[in-house]
Structure 1
């Protein structure tokens, strides 16, 4: 990251990294020293300061505050980065998503956000935020990209995604964007911490609810259902409601194509994009 780059041209993580660097230099602390103080390597500090990490950890942000004597400045900045690029009603869900041991998703219209490519997410964000600036759109795309850490990071979370075929047939932007999205779905499916299935049109009426939903499961045996409408999202934790959602998800899995058959369909669609 160029130190002369105007602040308005930096994304939130680049601004976070710039501020870490500025305070570190003002305190006359080396990257190696800061790494030791926060429990990370010198290379990790370098990546944070350059804005090249998908998201610095909360532990690192708190460690910076301790090393710099800045109270909760950097921890607060990191929290606002997470919260600022999403609707306020979505933030409680995001906080739970990061902590879940199992994330079960069913989507009916678009590829679900957690596995969207940057180009796909950018096109979706532009349509849903037509008056937003280019910088604001890029911030939203980056925030969506960071959600992948649920199954790409070093934690123990597992992701299961069921997409109705309509999600794959709806052309977002153009065939090049769709080809990139199909490529990434194949990558997701190959992950040892993710499963991907497609419910084909040939199945007919969905086995259960036609509305998207997410079930989050936790190591302490808690299970939460998340649903969303045009006016916001809602968490449900009553035993009866959650059990019904889990039954629905089992039916959806049973009626969907197998993981291997789902991959075959995605590969076919990819070939159609790249004849």
Structure 2
């Protein structure tokens, strides 16, 4: 399903939600309180600004007594979406976020990746996949990176563990280009990046990827990811604790200036290595 027709389908979801809510005599706040989200969330679902998670669609069916209509429609739309189930909602929220803070323990975050780096990642995960599949995945990843090039881009802050700089994904030449790209984004003041050095030792998020997102009109969220799975959480206590962990990471990381110098130095090391092979 193309992006335009998929958006139209989500708009149909929202239109039906509004129609059936009004038929049941509920305001947006009434329905929101019964399915454990805010009335503002219900309004955003109806306008196809945000997509509900599965458990919310199921509770809407229960409250409005729609016989599983919204769950079935949700599953069909999610099945035909571009991203894996565990990440699809995160990709939607990225476009709505006013601030995105990421911690990456071993891999450069998707929003900072070059096409060559992304291709190497997908090939490592799918060594027998057809070229068409790999190129489609790379295209989708590059589509996401446009977010940081838009005039209305969110504030973006990343803490990269030094390991993410030192693992030669795609080989020395690819890593040199990847690190050059990050350095250029930093110099253009499109992103803030800090490096957490090996010398800093232990930290609260050992080995755990983490993405914090803030919004103008919705509670902040935290997303963590494991192998073929992910958790998107908006429980205030969990988000607050995750933010505290992120603050500790930033405090122990190199300054942005020192981080830029290290990134450029490692890129030069990769270039020298590439020139001798």
Q: What is the TM-score with the length of structure 2 in the denominator?
A: 0.68
Question: Is 1:207–1:255's contact at 8 Å kept on the other side of the alignment?
Answer: no
Q: 2:164 aligns with which of 167, 189, 193?
A: 167
Give 1:45's aligned residue.
none
Say what the alpha-carbon RMSD is for the aligned residues: 2.4
Give 1:238's aligned residue.
235
Q: Deviations for 1:160-191, whole angstroms, at most 9, x for unmatched residues?
A: 11100000100112111011001101012123
Q: 2:107 aligns with which of 106, 110, 127?
A: 110
Q: Deviations for 1:184-228, whole angstroms, at most 9, x for unmatched residues?
A: 010121233310010000101124443111001001252001011
What is the deviation of 1:140? 0.5
Verify: 1:91 aligned to 2:68, yes or no: no
Give 2:260's aligned residue.
263
Question: Is 1:208–1:251's contact at 8 Å kept on the other side of the alignment?
Answer: no
Give 2:202's aligned residue.
205
Question: Is 2:212–2:221's contact at 8 Å kept on the other side of the alignment?
Answer: yes
Secondary structure of the 2:232 match is strand
What is the deviation of 1:246? 0.6
Give 2:125's aligned residue.
128
1-side partners of 2:111 and 2:260: how far apart? 18
2-side partners of 1:229 and 1:201: how far apart? 22
2-side partners of 1:94 and 1:260: how far apart? 30
Question: Is 1:176–1:273's contact at 8 Å kept on the other side of the alignment?
Answer: yes
Q: Deviations for 1:35-82, whole angstroms, at most 9, x for unmatched residues?
A: xxxxxxxxxxxxxxxxxxxxxxx9xxxxxxxxxxxxxxxxxxxx99x9
2-side partners of 1:200 and 1:207: how far apart? 14
Question: Is 2:106–2:161's contact at 8 Å kept on the other side of the alignment?
Answer: yes
Q: How many pairs were matched up?
A: 201
Give 1:143's aligned residue.
140
Q: 1:254 aligns with which of 251, 256, 274?
A: 251
Give 2:180's aligned residue.
183
Question: Is 1:108–1:210's contact at 8 Å kept on the other side of the alignment?
Answer: yes
Question: Is 1:188–1:196's contact at 8 Å kept on the other side of the alignment?
Answer: no
What is the deviation of 1:106? 0.2
Give 2:190's aligned residue.
193
Secondary structure of the 2:81 match is helix
Secondary structure of the 1:148 match is helix
Question: Is 2:222–2:233's contact at 8 Å kept on the other side of the alignment?
Answer: yes
2-side partners of 1:202 and 1:240: how far apart? 31
1-side partners of 2:190 and 2:271: how far apart? 28
Secondary structure of the 1:234 match is strand
Question: Is 2:180–2:267's contact at 8 Å kept on the other side of the alignment?
Answer: yes
Q: Deviations for 1:129-180, whole angstroms, at most 9, x for unmatched residues?
A: 1222101101100100111122211214111111000001001121110110
User: Could you list the runs of 5+ residues in structure 1 that have no partner in the other structure?
Assistant: 1-11, 17-57, 59-78
Secondary structure of the 1:260 match is helix
